[in-house]
Chain A
């Protein structure tokens, strides 16, 4: 995609409409990292459950680096066709954390209190 002619706002608008049609969470976030703008989206619960289940079928467990890569490949909507292996470790981890946060997950395990 040509960066000079790329209309990011229109891209976001179109992507949101597409996500709504697909019953997915229509939350997008622009993340500038290392001179590159990334656009990520978040999971809704159904997509999250299906995603984890699909990963489990491929023997990819949460907390593994493969899970982080799968998540980035699925949830980074711009730029397309990312080569995760060629990205810096800090960038991939940051993107993964943002995706989780956008999906509503806390950074730490929640701690319910007995009433």
Chain B
């Protein structure tokens, strides 16, 4: 993917050269940043690996054990935190307060879809509500322990000021949304989902 395409997909992207290797990276979105902060509290190395996996767009293959990548982590955080500190603080407080309420913040759900299905985060944000709900429903189905009987898909509520995910029962879903889940089951996409999860995990550990 060339730089022009990456710019159109991710907006603000940066390029840096370290020891002859050119890295192209984006800044984390708010959901990724919060996840990074949560991971950082437990394991700084894993947190850094997660951030690199989210932000480095090129090259596709690099070693997470390379200490020089620490400079990219520092640079990403510096650019991100300094880019708009007031807005960042407000956003973090908003999301954290929402996390305490029932439901999942929209941004975190979007990050989850992006990570699990390998869809660029900006593309997830552009999804219309219907498609977004379908992906959420599939995610809920896949992560449900009793997937066949107690699916708890979710729905966004864009009417409220703060975007929030609202739990919705399986029977309340539109027929086409239920069909997506059934298709998913029939095509046995579980294994591909698991593979994508394993890949995400591999990239972040």
Chain A residues with CB under 8 Å of chain B are 25, 42-50, 53, 103-106, 109-115
Contacts and interface: CB of A to CB of B under 8 A. Distances in A.
A105 B65 contact: no
A83 to B, nearest CB: 27
Given A42-B67, A48-B67, A53-B44, 13 more contacts: A25-B67, A43-B67, A44-B66, A45-B67, A46-B45, A46-B65, A49-B48, A104-B19, A104-B68, A106-B68, A109-B71, A113-B14, A115-B3
Nearest to A111: B16
Contacts of A109: 71
Contacts of A53: 44
Most buried by B among A42, A114, A115: A115
B176 interface: no
Contacts of B68: 103-106
Contacts, number: 69
Interface of B: 3, 6-7, 12-16, 18-19, 24-25, 44-45, 48, 64-72, 75, 79
Contact of A110 (B44, B67, B75): B75
Nearest to B3: A115
Contacts of B18: 104, 106, 110
Contact of B25 (A42, A49, A50, A112): A112
A48 B71 contact: no
Contacts of A103: 67-68
B15 A113 contact: yes
A47 B12 CA distance: 31
B14 A112 contact: yes
A23 B66 CA distance: 12
Contacts of A106: 18-19, 68, 71
Nearest to B48: A49
Q: Which 4 A-B pairs have the closest CB atoms?
A: A104-B68, A112-B14, A112-B16, A103-B67
Given A110-B18, A115-B14, A115-B24, A48 B3 contact: no
B19 A45 contact: no
A89 to B, nearest CB: 25
A87 B12 CA distance: 48
Contact of B16 (A43, A104, A113): A113
Contacts of A45: 45, 48, 64-67, 69-70
Contacts of B14: 112-115
Nearest to B47: A49
A114 to B, nearest CB: 6
